[in-house]
């Protein structure tokens, strides 16, 4: 199975609004993370990424493709592509 059939993305919608380059990353249709342009602060990389899988992870990247690659790698370290749904941090500790 190739990456495009496992990993997709859609615009991130907050309060009915979207922003260029702000995307939610889906793995097998399950929302697992976000890539967003970082604030323009001198000396920082231009993209932030974060996962909401358990345990959560985050980082910075030079461009959106690098951010997506880092996010996928972070999830794959714990949850290989052949595993179904992954646990989300927001669901941990709930009965």
Total-model pTM: 0.81
What pLDDT does 4 receive? 67
Whether the ω angle into residue 55 lies within 30 degrees of 0, i.e. cis, is yes
Q: Report the share of the chain in percent with pLDDT over 70.
A: 89
Cβ atoms of 56 and 70 closer than 8 Å: no
DSSP string, 16-54: TB--TT-EEEEETTEEEEEEEEPP--TTS-SEEEEE-BS
Least confident of 32-41, 49-58, 66-75, 86-95: 86-95
What pLDDT does 92 receive? 62
What pLDDT does 94 receive? 57
Q: Which tens digits make up the pLDDT trace of 56-90?
A: 999 999 999 999 999 999 999 988 877 777 877 77
């Amino acid at each position: 199975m190739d990456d495009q059939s496992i990993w997709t993305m859609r615009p991130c919608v907050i309060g009915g609004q979207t922003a260029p380059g702000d995307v939610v990353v889906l793995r097998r249709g399950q929302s697992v993370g976000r890539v967003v342009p970082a604030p323009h602060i001198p000396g920082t990389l231009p993209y932030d990424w974060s996962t909401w899988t358990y345990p959560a992870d985050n980082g910075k990247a030079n461009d959106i493709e690098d951010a997506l690659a880092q996010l996928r790698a972070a999830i794959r370290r714990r949850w290989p592509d052949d595993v179904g749904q992954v646990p989300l941090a927001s669901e941990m500790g709930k009965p």
